[in-house]
Structures are given as C-alpha cells and as structure tokens.
C-alpha cells in the first residue's frame, strides 16, 4: 500500500485527536483526591465535577445505590443531592472507575460524607454487593445509616417493601428482553 501525503495527514490527525481526547478524560487513580465544582447532577448517585484543570469528571457515588429516575424516590434522591452540592466546590475521594468509565468516589462537602448523608435521608441503599471494596469503617457507617433510616421510616423506608434499584434494573432488563422476542 502506497502512503500518500493525504493518507499520512489523515493518520496523523486521527492520532492527535485520540491523544487529546484521551488526555482530557484520563483514567483516575484510586485514592486520588479531586477538588472541583459540581456542574451537573444526572441522578441521585451520579454527578459531574469541573476539576481545577477545567475538565469535567463524571462521578458515580461509591457504596450507595439510589432509586432509578423512573422509580419511587428517584426524583427525590436527585433533588436532595442537587440541593446539597450543585454549584458548590466538593472534594472527591476516588476509588477507581466503573464499567461505564465513571470515576467512583465519596463526595465530601464541608466534611460531610454526601454518600452516607443520602443513605441517612432514606433516598439511597448501602450497596452491600460492593461493601467488601469499601474501607471497613466506611462500610459499617453506611450499613448503620441504612438501619437508622429504616428504623425511622425515612424516605423510601416509609414504603412497606421498597424495591432496591438493582432489582428494579434487573426486572426492567428482563421485561425489555422478553418484549424483544415477541
């Protein structure tokens, strides 16, 4: 194959584009701390922070799972997170990345653990499936926060039998697959 000047320029342009795209969304090292302003709230457990390098970093709050948007208390979870941190500078204690390339992290605002706060307010579950990846003291605090919210019937715990979001998603996926085969 003969490489023409046009082909070389096209390859070089693609390389430069890829290099800068990757650079602006570089992988976050677990244990790194990000300081930035919350510029977007996607749902109760996902937000975007504009870091000091002016890059947007999508954060999935680790150790918790909030109801889906279409689920009872999904809107309330998003609203509560927004009221607490939107437009504010926060500290994110990172824990790596998830399968969707979101940075996993604990959000801290004025020394308040926002992840734990959402559990205490009854708009999030402690995501016990991943508790073994949390520091033991944190996992215990999150579990205790959930028990406290349940006992007080705060938020979603006022319902008789709230559906955890992981079960809601599984059912939604199951229904979606069965309707595709019909």
Number of domains in the chain: 1
In a domain, 36, yes or no: yes
In a domain, 175, yes or no: no
Q: Which of 32, 53, 58, 68 is catalytic?
A: 68
> Which pTM does this prediction carry?
0.81
Burial label for 32, CB within 10 Å (0-12, 13-18, 19+), is middle
pLDDT band at 175, cuts 50/70/90? confident
CATH number of the domain residue 61 falls in: 2.40.50.90
Q: Which of 93, 95, 102, 138 is catalytic?
A: 102
Q: What are the pLDDT digits (tens) for 102-161?
A: 999 999 999 999 999 999 999 999 999 999 999 999 999 999 999 999 999 999 999 999
Rounded to the nearest integer, the mean pLDDT of the chain is 88
User: Domain containing 104: what range?
Assistant: 27-159
């Amino acid at each position: 194959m003969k490489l023409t000047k046009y082909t070389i320029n096209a390859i070089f342009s693609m390389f430069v584009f890829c290099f800068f795209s990757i650079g602006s969304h570089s992988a976050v090292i677990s244990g790194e701390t990000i300081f930035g302003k919350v510029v977007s709230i996607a749902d109760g457990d996902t937000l975007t922070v504009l870091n000091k390098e002016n890059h947007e970093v999508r954060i999935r709050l680790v150790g918790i799972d909030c109801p889906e948007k279409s689920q009872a208390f999904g809107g309330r979870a998003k609203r509560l997170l927004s009221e607490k941190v939107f437009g504010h500078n926060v500290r994110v204690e990172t824990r790596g990345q998830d399968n969707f390339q979101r940075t996993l992290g604990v959000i801290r605002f004025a020394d308040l653990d926002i992840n734990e706060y959402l559990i205490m307010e009854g708009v999030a579950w402690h995501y016990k499936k991943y508790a073994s990846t949390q520091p033991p003291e944190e996992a215990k605090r999150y579990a205790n926060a959930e028990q406290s919210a349940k006992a007080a019937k705060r938020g979603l715990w006022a319902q008789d039998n709230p559906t955890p979001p992981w079960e809601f998603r599984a059912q939604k996926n199951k229904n979606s697959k069965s309707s595709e085969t019909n």
